[in-house]
Amino acid sequence: MSAASTILGKLLEPVTDCFSVEVARKLLAVKADSSAEARLEVLRAKANEGDLSEGERKEYQAYVDAINLIGILQAKARRIIAQG
């Protein structure tokens, strides 16, 4: 886990402390819609080829940041479910 993810995880503790088991289960079911998945795949392929424009790089980074945030929240949700 990166330092940024660790810090974000700590900052999110007050939020996730409010989660019920039901909320945690709903959070685990969160998935990107098909258009977001398709766009991410295009950006991922272009990134792997080194062909991202500056705007695409920012867009791709926004996707990565959002995925990381959701991943942190889902990890916390799994912990809540395990304890509940």
pLDDT (tens digit, 9 = 90+) per residue, 7-26?
988 998 998 989 999 999 99
pLDDT (tens digit, 9 = 90+) per residue, 28-62?
999 999 999 999 999 999 999 999 999 999 999 99
This prediction has a pTM of 0.83
pLDDT (0 to 100) of residue 20? 94
pLDDT (0 to 100) of residue 1? 67
pLDDT (0 to 100) of residue 6? 86
Q: How many residues does the chain have?
A: 84
Residue extents of the structural domains in the chain: 3-83
- Higher-confidence position of 5 and 15: 15
The per-type count for the chain, helices as H runs and strands as E runs, is 4, 0
Residue 8 contacts residue 72 (beta carbons within 8 Å): yes
